[in-house]
Structure 1
Amino acid sequence: MTQDWLFDFGNTRLKCAPLGADGGVGPVRAFALSELDALPSGEVAYVASVASEDARVQLLDALSRRFRRIAIARTAAQFSGLRIAYANPQKLGVDRFLAMAGAHDAWPALIVGVGTGLTIDLVDRDGRHHGGRIAPSPTLMREMLHARATQLAPMGGTYAEFANDTEDALVSGCEGAALALVERSLAEAKRLLGTPPRVLLHGGGADPLHAHLKDAHLRPALVLEGLARWARMDVVA
């Protein structure tokens, strides 16, 4: 039987997985833009992309040679019980939209994406999106500091609450800034909802933050989980 596939194309990497017979997400694979010739083939390619237009065109061109149909996910004001806070749905990144949809089983949830950027979104138990935040991720903070002051290393170091080495201070400061934003958002979410939401972490930079966030849950394929949910609706339609 020909396989349908899910593709999550972010600013730094492409992740894909087969759509399971049960509508779930199969084993996840990662590709660089230079590896598009190695992509799988199948019947339908379900795509979520926040990459640049040039990169997106390259991906769609590669997929068009491997799949009979390409279905591109887009943000909607309402989807599968989710109601987003944005007055203009198209201004909300499809990755954030799908991550919220993918977290359906965990609402109320504070959903934290750690990739090129750090994104935070709050969804209550009824699927109402209360809005969110966008900031540089710890990785991007390091890269930006290095770009302005080349003597500051763009990577390396060990996290400490009070570091006694520059590399350690850099990683501690950048990760600490992200942790503080998540913790502030969690405190405000508790106040707003009257109950603590689950904290769900996803994205390539989630692991370092997870080590310092008590009771947070790693959901590395959350965007693909939401895309699978969107694909199921596409099949029903």
Structure 2
Amino acid sequence: MNLLVDLGNTRLKWALQQGAALHPGVPVDHSRPLLRELEQAWVEAPPVQRVLVSSVGRPRLEAELVQAVRARFGVQPEFIATKAAACGVRVAYARPEKLGVDRFVALIALHAQRRGAVVLASVGTALVLDALAADGRHLGGLIAPSPALMQQALLGATARVSASDAARIVELADDTEDAVRSGCWLAAAALVERFHAQVRARLDGAVGLVLAGGAAAELAPLLPCPVRLEPDLVLRGLACLAGGEPVESPDSRHA
């Protein structure tokens, strides 16, 4: 039994891995003390042999995670680092360590599906795009603010622009709140569409489009092409690195 941990910018996701099976737990929010939350989350967890971690979190959170793992399971967590190549994926960056480990591990999970070339759009704190050829070559990517971050930046830099949680996403807005929300979300959709088109042209063939992250379901209807929603890609990639070959998530679906 392995414990897999995805320490992100806003929350921690985890799963227990037994062979090819993944058993995700309830995500933990960073806004509460992490050590206490993990003690509660893992109170009934069985013993584990290994703990693999993908982390883009702050050092303080990593320290609390290490403390919680040692206290509960008595093992030292293994923090994964991006490498030039692993599990068939070959990173495009000249300095592979500059590629976020969460991106690297997610690409490993996608390559393990053997579904051909794919663009991954992760919509979380940032909007992160990556292109992966069918043979595992990472072609590169882009990073932009997420729609939520775009809206925050706009509101913070303007005095008379307002927003509303009830605002709609429309092509032609007739009030400010709808205009702000629509502009941010449609800008993100346009970037994903353009990136996907550029990758298709470069590879001269079919390229799948996968959305991941907390806002993936909201972005999916704004895109003109078929997409797959793939939850827990980082956890599934960690399972590959741990030596398992997890089946496709039962939550994967088309949108």
Q: TM-score, normalised by structure 2?
A: 0.85
Q: Output the amino acid matched with 1:225.
A: R
Give aligned pairs, total. 230
5+ residue gaps, structure 2: 245-255
Change (3 A) 1:154 1:191: same
Q: Which residue of 2 aligns with 1:52?
A: 58
After TM superposition, the structure 1 = structure 2 runs for residues 39-188 of structure 1, keeping only pairs within 5 Å, are: 39-40=41-42, 41=45, 42-43=47-48, 44-69=50-75, 70-104=77-111, 105=113, 106-149=115-158, 151-153=161-163, 155-188=165-198
Q: What is the distance in 2 between the residues matched to 1:93 and 1:225?
A: 16
Q: What is the distance in 2 between the residues matched to 1:75 and 1:107?
A: 22
Deviation (angstroms), 1:114: 0.8
Deviation (angstroms), 1:63: 1.8
String of CA shifts for 1:72-91, please: whole Å, max 9, x gaps.
11111001111010111110
Q: Does the 8 Å CA contact 1:146/1:154 hold for their aligned counterparts? A: no
Q: Does the 8 Å CA contact 1:200/1:219 hold for their aligned counterparts? A: yes
User: What CA RMSD, in Å, does the superposition of the two structures yield over aligned residues?
Assistant: 1.7
Deviation (angstroms), 1:154: 7.0
Which secondary structure state, in structure 1, belongs to the residue aligned with residue 192 of structure 2? helix
Q: What is the distance in 2 between the residues matched to 1:100 and 1:6?
A: 16
- State percent identity of aligned pairs: 39
Q: TM-score, normalised by structure 1?
A: 0.91
Q: What is the distance in 2 between the residues matched to 1:57 and 1:50?
A: 13
Q: Does the 8 Å CA contact 1:156/1:171 hold for their aligned counterparts? A: no
Q: Which residue of 1 aligns with 2:235?
A: 224
Asked if 1:30 is matched to 2:27, the reply is yes
Moved more, 146-155 or 98-107: 146-155
